[in-house]
């Protein structure tokens, strides 16, 4: 099998998802150089950071962070697009892992109990085939050694694409779209809510608010990229 793998790699080399260079044997998904230059926010090291601020006065979030800055001009621009629309689940998984390892140094994140991706509606899940946030959450869960929960919260309303809407419209559009399906699993837990990107924070706010209705829960937020 190893020989077959080596041969396949020779014929169809695995390339870095960011820069396109051929990956070395010890590299996964993105090369070491791209990993090194990834525009990290390091928000997990400062409590009052720009992601945390998004939720101030809206919903009580213990800690919030984003892994990197989503910059349209950078070579990292298409990573999320590849993950979301071209089914590159490995990108979510691997970036989630790196992100997870980094969050482990932060006391605020280290003590979470569960990793929970923002769920997609069943219809959308069928259409896309997978939940991109779940891939990221799976990587985080692996790196932080915390259980992944993809069942306790469900998305009950199928909302249309959210582009070109005002914040208020989006808020109307997402309010009440999530439902907790299993209170016992979440009760008393500190939940790390995971999403791919954060822009207005409306979806995360709606999901967190629903979780916080369960007794004794706390919510922290980790998104892969910040626009």
Q: How far is the CB of 86 from Zn ion (least distance, A)?
A: 17
Question: How many angstroms separate the CA atoms of 154 and 166, rounded?
Answer: 25
Stretch that binds Zn ion, among 2-10, 34-42, 199-207, 210-218 (CB under 5 A): 34-42
Which of residues 69 and 171 has its CB atom nearest to Zn ion in the complex? 69
Based on the shown chain and the rule CB under 5 A, indicate whether residue 95 belongs to the binding site for Zn ion. no
3-state helix, strand, coil in the chain (%, to 5): 40, 20, 40
Based on the shown chain and the rule CB under 5 A, indicate whether residue 19 belongs to the binding site for Zn ion. yes
Which of residues 34 and 120 has its CB atom nearest to Zn ion in the complex? 34
Could you tell me the sign of the dihedral formed by the alpha carbons of 100, 104, 105, 110, in that order?
positive
Which of residues 34 and 51 has its CB atom nearest to Zn ion in the complex? 34
Q: Return the residue of 29, 34, 59, 66 that touches Zn ion, per CB under 5 A.
A: 34
Question: How many angstroms separate the CA atoms of 44 and 121, rounded?
Answer: 29
Q: How far is the CB of 109 from Zn ion (least distance, A)?
A: 27
Contact 195, 117 (CB under 8 A): yes
Residue among 155, 44, 55 at smallest CA distance from 100: 44
Based on the shown chain and the rule CB under 5 A, indicate whether residue 18 belongs to the binding site for Zn ion. yes
Based on the shown chain and the rule CB under 5 A, indicate whether residue 16 belongs to the binding site for Zn ion. yes
Which residue reads 């070395």 in tokens? Answer: 24
Residues that bind Zn ion (CB under 5 A): 16, 18-19, 31, 34
């Amino acid at each position: 099998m190893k020989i077959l793998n080596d041969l396949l790699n020779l014929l169809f080399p695995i390339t870095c998802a960011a820069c396109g260079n051929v990956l070395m044997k010890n590299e996964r998904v993105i090369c070491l150089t791209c990993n090194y230059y990834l525009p990290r926010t390091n928000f997990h090291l400062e409590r009052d950071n720009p992601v945390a601020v998004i939720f101030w006065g809206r919903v009580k979030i213990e800690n919030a962070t984003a892994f990197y800055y989503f910059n349209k001009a950078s070579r990292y621009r298409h990573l999320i697009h590849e993950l979301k629309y071209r089914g590159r689940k490995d990108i979510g998984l691997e970036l989630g892992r790196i992100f997870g390892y980094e969050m482990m140094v932060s006391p605020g994140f280290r003590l979470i109990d569960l990793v929970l991706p923002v769920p997609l509606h069943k219809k959308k899940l069928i259409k896309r085939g997978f939940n991109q946030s779940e891939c990221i959450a799976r990587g985080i869960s692996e790196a932080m050694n915390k259980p992944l929960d993809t069942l306790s919260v469900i998305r009950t309303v199928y909302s249309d694409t959210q582009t070109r809407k005002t914040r208020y419209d989006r808020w109307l559009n997402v309010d009440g779209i999530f439902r907790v399906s299993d209170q016992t699993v979440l009760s008393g837990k500190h939940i790390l809510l995971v999403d791919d990107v954060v822009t207005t924070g409306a979806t995360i706010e709606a999901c967190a608010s629903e979780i916080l209705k369960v007794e004794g829960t706390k919510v922290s937020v980790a998104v892969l990229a910040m626009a």
